Amino acid sequence: MDTTNADDLEWEETQRGDVEFRRKRLAEDGRAIGSSLYEVPPGKRSWPYHYHTANEEALFVLAGEGYLRTADGDLPLETGDFVSIPAGEAGAHQVVNDGEVPLRYLLHSTMIDPDVTVYPDTETFGVFVGAAPGGRGDRDLHGFYRIDGRTSYWDEE
């Protein structure tokens, strides 16, 4: 078994439009469960609204408040809250910080490969084969596509 201390890890930063967060990957490659420490500034969101077809996630709020955008509506979040996020359309989610201080949380994920991640707002999906989303391993197939970008089984049709 290995021990990881979050203080020994550097923050990875992501910023694009209203999506902005810092992340420390506590566990990832070659494990059945991934875990990351996230921090979302006030007025910002984590990843785009999405769901995984294969992977489940669990979120535990360490500090701050905000809400989890879900398929059933917004779910308020505050320090100490725990949420299980199922795979599939019913598990669509996005963390939003509508509070006044950074929202810090742990996110745990099964690391099932392959996985397809669907982004309902943009009608796109991502394919992950060889390493689960969130992992850094080599992937045999990986890309993002439009849901309506259909083709036939036989290339000549």
**Confidence (pTM):** 0.91
What mean pLDDT do residues 87-112 have? 97
**Domains: count for the chain:** 1
Task: Supply the CATH number for residue 70's domain.
Answer: 2.60.120.10
Residues whose CB is less than 8 angstroms from the CB of residue 115 and which lie 6 or more positions away in sequence, other chains included: 52, 53, 54, 55, 128, 132, 133
Report CA 18 to chain centroid distance, whole Å.
15
The pLDDT of residue 94 is above 80: yes
Convert the pLDDT of each residue in 28-77 to its tens digit. Answer: 655 789 999 999 999 999 999 999 999 999 999 999 999 999 999 999 99
Q: Assess if residue 91 is contained within a domain.
A: yes
State the chain's mean pLDDT as an integer: 93
Q: Supply the range of the domain harboring residue 56.
A: 6-112
pLDDT of 127-151, one tens digit each?
A: 999 888 887 778 888 899 999 988 8
Within a domain: residue 82? yes
In a domain, 33, yes or no: yes
